[in-house]
Structure 1
Amino acid sequence: MSAEFGGRTGRQGKISQWLRGRRPKDTGADGDAREALLLAAAGAGLPLAPAAHPAPGYRCSCDRVGCPTPARHPVSFAWQTQSTTDRAQIERWARHQPQANFITATGMVHDVLDVPLEAGREALERLLGSGVEVGPVAESDDGRLLFFTLTRGTPEDEDEWWPCELDCHPETADEHPGLRWHCRGSYVLVPPARLPGDDGRSVHWVRGPEHPLPDPLSLLEILTDACARYAGEEPDHANAAWPLRH
């Protein structure tokens, strides 16, 4: 990746400019473009399921009064078993539900390290500048950056499962403003996805699903450092590496 930005002299500044100036190609994707992006994610091994979509007035298509995560949640309670990478099924969903967002279930094939946007941009710049292999990264216009990694949630011993509730559940994510580790029992919106509001906010790829999934531990230290600086705290590496196998 570093070759894309030339030699070491001036590399950090060029990476920084690229991260802040690049506009996603899939924002507001419709029709064939939307379907192609979803199939690309599924082709990379990310299991997908239909999700709610925005409704007028900052409401959610689920019509739940006071929905805590409007347009950000699955439409079925069976989303974990429903999630699939099957091309034909995803094509049917995309064509029959043209407004639907999609979630990807974590803890099966991949996890997601979900961080505040500014901390994530700083961390991504450092990771790329250091030559660390970074996988797919999505940006959410509600102020988060999502790093897609291999999962740490499939140990051979069932007693070693790390449920996402020990970090944060999707419906309580706002209570965890720092780093969130989405693993077993969680999900995130997968691009392209629309967020509530009239300002065209979305979830879009910064680095697409064609990038191989890295081990989360290769990213964790830099991400926790960036999140600690963002929050004005000292990083706590001793308690940072949560879903580990013993």
Structure 2
Amino acid sequence: MSAEFGGRSGRQSRLSQWLRGRRPKPAADEGGREALLLAAADAGLPLAPAAHPAPGYRCSCDRVGCPTPARHPVSFAWQTQSTTERAQIERWACHQPQANFITATGMVHDVLDVPLDAGREALTRLLDAGVEVGPVAESDDGRMLFFTLTRGTPEDEDEWWPCELDCHPETMDEHPGLRWHCRGSYVLVPPARLPGDDDRSVHWVRGPEHPLPDPLSLLEYLTDSCARHIGEQSDHPGTAWPLRR
């Protein structure tokens, strides 16, 4: 009987080892993804999970012909879902290892979003002039993102002022030049992957450890660079400001 018990125990032990070996291993945190996300949250940027690239320049969402593949939140409730809570972000990063993340603007920070060449020129001029510049990200789809303090949460709601540059996800095409992401908008936060087979990404040029500046201190430099660079393009002459329809 003891031999039978020992044999059964041995088989169970081998079965347990086999089952343990078949369990999926946690995905490696390539490039310190979780650490970068937590650093953004620690800087006050509220985060929420977003879609990620799928093979063939497709999106991980189930929408046929998604117009913004890998660039939109997973949940329609992204504004209320967005958080800086470390434990929640760690859970999302662990359970959704391929997900990009967005940061909701107009709560703590805004983002001034400009064409890449104009942004690089403006960044050089700003630093040379000694202007305080906060976090800056580059997107390999040709944009540069300047993170600033928000104008979206005045103490008195009557002091809220809309701006012609205000941009929302559904109005991107109207803003080929400078886009001001404030209330009701979002951007991808680094590290994020873009569709395609060439490892395109959104990545920090200046990390979230830099304090958020007043957006108005950057605006003149950015609009000037946008007007110059976009004015040289034949498709949208002079469209540093929104297009009219």
TM-score (norm 2): 0.80
Return closer, same or farther for 1:65/1:161 CA change in 2, 3 Å cut-off. farther
* Alpha-carbon separation, structure 2, partners of 1:169 and 1:187: 8
Which runs of structure 2 are paired with 1:13-24 in the superposition (5 Å)?
none
> What CA distance in whole angstroms lies between the structure 2 residues aligned with 1:45 and 1:164?
24
Structure label with greater radius of gyration: 2
Aligned to 1:37: 36
Pair 1:81 & 2:80 matched: yes
| Other-structure match for 1:105 | 104
Distance 2:239 2:223 in 1: 6
Structure 2 unmatched runs, 5+? 1-27, 232-236
Distance in structure 2 (CA, Å) of the matches to 1:95 and 1:111: 27
Q: Following TM superposition, by how much is the alpha carbon of 1:161 offset from its aligned partner in structure 2, in angstroms?
A: 3.8
Q: Which moved more, 1:156-165 or 1:31-40?
A: 156-165
CA–CA distance in 2 between the matches of 1:166 and 1:121? 20
Tell me, yes or no, if structure 1 residue 46 matches structure 2 residue 52: no
Alignment match, 1:62: 61
Shift of 1:94: 0.1
Q: Structure with the greater relative contact order (CA < 8 A, sep ≥ 6): 1 or 2?
A: 1
Q: Secondary structure at the match of 1:122?
A: helix
Q: Which amino acid in structure 2 is aligned with residue 132 of structure 1?
A: V
Match of 2:13 in 1: none
Are the counterparts in 2 of residues 164 and 182 from structure 1 also a CA contact under 8 Å?
no
* Residues 86-114 of structure 1: CA deviation (Å, up to 9, x unaligned): 00000000000000000000000000000
* Structure 2 equivalent of residue 115 of structure 1: 114
Supply the distance in 1 between the matched residues of 2:174 and 2:109 (Cα, whole angstroms).
Answer: 23
Runs of 4+ in 1 over 3 A off after TM superposition: 29-32, 159-166, 233-236
* Other structure's SS at 2:72 match: coil
Tell whether 2:201 aligns with 1:202: yes
Amino acid at match of 1:229: R
After superposing the two structures, state which structure 1 stretch, 115-124 or 173-182, moved more.
173-182
Q: 1:169: Cα distance to partner?
A: 1.6
Deviations 1:173-220 (A, max 9, x none): 133110000001000000000000011000000000000000000000
Distance 1:160 1:171 in 2: 25
2:225 corresponding residue in structure 1: 226
On the 8 A contact 1:135/1:147 being kept in 2, the answer is: yes
Give the percent of matched residue pairs that are identical in Structure 1 and Structure 2.
89
Query: By how many angstroms is 1:159 displaced?
Result: 4.3
Taking structure 1 as reference, are residues 188 and 96 closer, same or farther at Cα in structure 2, changes over 3 Å only?
A: same
AA aligned to 1:86 is: E
SS of equivalent to 1:215:
coil
Change (3 A) 1:164 1:100: farther
Deviates more, 1:144-153 or 1:155-164: 155-164
The one-letter amino acid of 2:99's match is: A
* Number of residue pairs the alignment of both structures matches: 210
- 214-223 vs 224-233, greater mean Cα deviation: 224-233
Give the aligned partner of residue 25 of structure 2: none
Residues 164 and 81 of structure 1, relative CA distance in 2, 3 Å threshold: farther
Between the aligned partners of 1:199 and 1:171, the Cα distance in structure 2 is: 27
Contact 1:107 1:151 in 2 (8 A): yes
Show structure 1 runs of 5+ residues with no match. Answer: 1-28, 241-246
Once structures 1 and 2 are overlaid, which stretch shifts more, 64-73 or 35-44? Answer: 64-73
1:136 maps onto 2:130 in alignment = no
Is the deviation greater in 45-54 or in 157-166? Answer: 157-166
